[in-house]
Structure 1
Amino acid sequence: MSADLFCEIASGERPAFVVHADDVAVAFLDARPVFKGHVLVVPRAHVETLADLEEVGPFFERVQAAARAVEEGLGADGTFVAMNNRISQSVPHLHVHVVPRHRKDGLRGFFWPRVKYASEEEAQEYATRIGTSWKSPSG
Structure 2
Amino acid sequence: MKKLSFLFATILLITVSCTKKDAADQLYNTTWELEYITGPRIAFDGLYPTKKPQLTFDKETNKATGNNGCNGYSAEFTLGEENAISFGEAGPTTMMYCGQGEQVFLKTIKKINKYSFDIEGKLNLLMDDVTMMRFKKVTTEE
TM-score by shorter chain over 0.5: no
If the length of structure 1 is used for normalisation, what is the TM-score? Answer: 0.32
Kindly name which structure, 1 or 2, has the bigger radius of gyration based on alpha carbons. 2
Which structure has the higher relative contact order (CA within 8 Å, separation 6+)?
1
Structure having the larger proportion of residues in strand: 2
If the length of structure 2 is used for normalisation, what is the TM-score? Answer: 0.31
